[in-house]
Structure 1
């Protein structure tokens, strides 16, 4: 979402959303917030510690391990992953000397065959989304937590493979005297689970809830995240009488009434976007028309835990649209679109040539129409030999400036990073 106060809002969010704390929830359960990009939940068993996720790097997990040794002499013998994202598993290797079992759930839907063939571009887009090439000043915040360790020289990913991989929908176990119910909960990932500790009345929800608008779609790319299933998972989580909700990122939510309020609003806001998007599709609206029409009702838009600091509503709408009906919007003109280079050449010719487009870009920049300026630059950059080398050089410079200005207006950390990363790439060409 673009907003004139985006940078100030992101700075405030970064300063308050994930302070470094070791928070005691009950005599048995603590949560380490701000020790890494993600949280680590520590459960004390009769003779050992059970970790739910392990932070994002070996160095950070080693510091956590040292802290735990000051609290208890019980070793870490069990690790449970809420899902497979590397920022939740990257510190696992720090516990290799004592861990005896590592538990995970298999994805409910397999990754598309051949995905490994596009990993280079997915990795490039991931680099942009998370701002790995940006300075701390440029980045402001990585969104869900402090910057990942591997991005700033604070350790590396250190993975250990699961020793127990469940395919069931739900598993109940007692681990070192602590009762757990582990439940498959498709949402941000297809291997996502939540963990219910009945004796403690604690719900560990992984990344299906955190305190801002979620990545219903990640701009780095990936398979469609089933939003309807995500809503169902949130309803399932809410069916438990939790007194503490411990998310995979940011601060816990405490008290049953508060959990019901927060999760209820979070769930209904997502359901609202899904329902409104499907309504627009059923009316025959295009993806662009739908993305422009669907907005969060004010009831949800003002809530602090639904601000667009990570994902955005518009990206969510576009993902839902494509997830349900694919790329074709029903307009026959789009069945066989003019090839991009020819399209750019034709529009430049129609507008009066390269100089006319260049003048329009300058005007757009002067009038703070940064999105329009960027789109006009794309015409110049996409028209092949029709545009002079000087014109393309100017267009790269203007587009980089447009992206930097858009970054200043973007409330989503991911969007900000993508704008700035691409601006840097253009300046190097």
Structure 2
């Protein structure tokens, strides 16, 4: 299946390799969606993050043993996302290990209150689409910040609960390394970064990676604090690192290159905020603001701000909802008709289901796939020409997927198309 050539080119960021960043620091990249970092001391190893599955962890550890056979004694979680905490038991190799995280670390792997209502089924369905889980390797080009073809056995299975929780800035010495652990909210509120001053190396978790930041994930997430994330970029620059080891994609080497990347990342986030606020204050709705919002050329041209993972429009809509809520300001929206009711009225106004179906076919043949989907959705909602409308939507989803540079969007469209196809029997 075709894919956007820029998205295919992004796979260079996930070339499978254990990078040696210095005499004692290594980063495993490309084995899974997220990276794993090894700090090799004289008697043991400090590990930063543990990847997403036990199988990926086994593969990483097996290859890393060519560099050192010392035991891993300390594990540091930069944050609580599953792709960073799910291989810990593999790296522990049956030993008791120290596990360090922030004091507000919260994982959905433990301590879940099953008595309270939660949209778990909806989240799992959307997560599956977001990451393209169950798509064929040739369909799932990547996940934007990690390879598409990667081991999925043992997802979430290797988590170990933290034994030490740190707040604000905490200085520790482990295996001969003097480390500074600092709270640095970004993609999650519980982020910490790890600073190895002796080697000018900063492990930044998911606060930076080689793609526009995922300020809103279409799998469904609570509001991510845009301003805090932008402020964290200044915090990271204050360390003046010469090596930046992110939670996804390749390391960044060189003080000037790192400062430029972090500055642009910060400015891109703040630009989305400022332009969205400008639209809000002008009384515009979130869809209109997002449709018109583009990064300025000096930012849009940067390779690490391409929308392989995050999306500028999605971010703008999330900021609107996170600050003003779901209401777009138009009083008509306060008692908006349910989709099935609205669809029936629009279909009648258009001259009937046959006319709408014909218009959807015309739109698709004219490469207006988005409009074709919107018309098809109205027919599906009313159960009128549902099979034909569903087939049109499947074709439209696959058409748009071929042209999108955003990996989660591509994955979501392709898997949604397959699910709809399977529902038709």
Q: Answer whether TM exceeds 0.5 for this pair.
A: yes
What does residue 414 of structure 2 align with? 420
Tell me the TM-score normalized by structure 1.
0.93
Mapped partners of 2:299, 2:190: distance in 1 = 28
SS in 1 for 2:199: coil
**Any conservation in 1 of the 2:80–2:106 contact (CA below 8 Å)?**
no
Of residues 18, 24, 41, the one that matches 1:22 is: 18
SS in 2 for 1:399: helix
Mapped partners of 2:107, 2:140: distance in 1 = 33
Of residues 389, 398, 403, the one that matches 2:397 is: 403
The structural deviation recorded for 1:28 is 1.7
**Any conservation in 1 of the 2:39–2:46 contact (CA below 8 Å)?**
yes
Per-residue CA distance 1:279-325 (angstroms, 9 max, x = gap):
11112111112112221001111111110111110000000010110
Mapped partners of 1:104, 1:185: distance in 2 = 12
Deviates more, 1:86-95 or 1:248-257: 86-95
What does residue 103 of structure 2 align with? 106
What does residue 144 of structure 2 align with? 143
Deviates more, 1:211-220 or 1:95-104: 95-104
**Any conservation in 2 of the 1:36–1:146 contact (CA below 8 Å)?**
yes
Listed as ranges, the matches of 1:51-70 within 5 Å are 51-70=47-66
| Residue segments in structure 2 that go unaligned for 5+ positions in a row | none
**Any conservation in 1 of the 2:31–2:150 contact (CA below 8 Å)?**
no
SS in 2 for 1:173: strand
What does residue 44 of structure 1 align with? 40
Mapped partners of 2:31, 2:116: distance in 1 = 32
Listed as ranges, the matches of 1:206-245 within 5 Å are 206-245=205-244
Mapped partners of 2:107, 2:96: distance in 1 = 28
**Any conservation in 2 of the 1:28–1:43 contact (CA below 8 Å)?**
yes
Mapped partners of 2:250, 2:117: distance in 1 = 35
What does residue 336 of structure 1 align with? 335
Q: Count residues with an aligned counterpart.
A: 417
What does residue 87 of structure 1 align with? 83
The structural deviation recorded for 1:420 is 0.7
1:12 is the counterpart of 2:45:
no
**Any conservation in 2 of the 1:373–1:399 contact (CA below 8 Å)?**
yes
The structural deviation recorded for 1:86 is 1.4
**Any conservation in 2 of the 1:87–1:148 contact (CA below 8 Å)?**
no
Per-residue CA distance 1:137-169 (angstroms, 9 max, x = gap):
111112211237454x5x544323234242512
Mapped partners of 1:115, 1:167: distance in 2 = 29
Per-residue CA distance 1:198-235 (angstroms, 9 max, x = gap):
11111100001000112100001120001111111111
Mapped partners of 1:245, 1:341: distance in 2 = 51
Residue 272 to residue 53, structure 1, CA distance change in 2 (3 Å): same
Per-residue CA distance 1:17-58 (angstroms, 9 max, x = gap):
121111111112111111222111110123101110122222
Mapped partners of 2:181, 2:410: distance in 1 = 36
| Residue segments in structure 1 that go unaligned for 5+ positions in a row | none
The structural deviation recorded for 1:76 is 0.7
1:267 is the counterpart of 2:243:
no
CA RMSD of aligned residues (A): 2.0
**Any conservation in 1 of the 2:290–2:317 contact (CA below 8 Å)?**
yes
Residue 51 to residue 333, structure 1, CA distance change in 2 (3 Å): same
**Any conservation in 2 of the 1:37–1:148 contact (CA below 8 Å)?**
no
